[in-house]
Amino acid sequence: MRQQVITGASASGAQLIEGSLRFDKDEEQYLTRTPSGAGSQTLYTWSVWVKRERLGDEGTADVNHNPVFCAGTSSSASTDFRFQNNGSSNADEFWWINWDGGSTYFSLESFPRYRDVAGWYHIVCNYNGTTAYVYINGTLVTSYNTETQNGGTSKINSTSAHSIGCFGQG
């Protein structure tokens, strides 16, 4: 019988995907790019594969969210995709918010909780200028703690900074 040696790297159970990125929230790591030209800010589909590392009650983060992606800044306006992590009944929801710096154009805070830190989530967000839709792992999210649909212009495809791993409101 052959003996298998389990090293620290293989014992973690972590799935490594070639070409993927890992962000350490405590190190405040993120990527950012500012497009030189604008595209449609009212018609777009955004898609990402993400694996969570922490839940709402873990860590000592200085903000109450686990950001995935944002466009814009807190001083003007932003469109943010993140997992809400505030230790309340809303912990571990997916939140997509689009605001203009004063009022909210739309805000979708999912009722379902996303607490799997072992698996991957495929998140697709679609905006048609009036209504925002969220699909997670191929299922349309239809139940929200907060659902505000006021249309408006998004910061996605604008000439504002677009960032992976941080959010514009903090």
Quote the mean pLDDT of the chain.
80
Instruction: Give 26's contacts (C-beta < 8 A, 6+ positions apart).
Output: 59, 60, 61
Q: For residue 28, which of 72, 5, 3, 62 has the smallest C-alpha distance?
A: 62
d(CA 110, CA 149): 14
Q: How large is the average pLDDT for residues 38-58?
A: 85
* 130 pLDDT higher than 80: yes
Are the CB atoms for 15 and 33 separated by under 8 Å? no
State the pLDDT at residue 90. Answer: 58
**Residue among 80, 83, 101 at smallest CA distance from 92:** 83
Mean pLDDT, range 37-43, rounded to an integer: 94
Question: What is the pLDDT, as a whole number, of residue 11?
Answer: 43
How is residue 83 annotated by DSSP? Answer: E
Of residues 18 and 116, the one with the higher pLDDT is 116
24 or 142, higher pLDDT: 142
d(CA 18, CA 95): 28
In sequence order, the 6+-apart residues with CB closer than 8 A to the CB of 58 are none
Q: How confident is the model at residue 68 (pLDDT cuts 50, 70, 90)?
A: confident
pLDDT of residue 97: 87
Handedness of CA 89, 107, 53, 118 (dihedral sign): positive
Mean pLDDT of 64-73: 81
pLDDT of residue 4: 46
Q: How confident is the model at residue 57 (pLDDT cuts 50, 70, 90)?
A: low
**Tokens linked to 44:** 């777009």
What's the mean pLDDT in 74-94?
Answer: 75
Range ranked top by mean pLDDT from 39-48, 52-61, 63-72:
39-48
* pLDDT tens profile 98-113: 888 777 888 898 988 8
Residue 79 bridge partners (DSSP): 71, 98
Q: How far apart are CA 1 and CA 141, in angstroms?
A: 49
Confidence band, pLDDT 50/70/90 cuts, at residue 12? very low
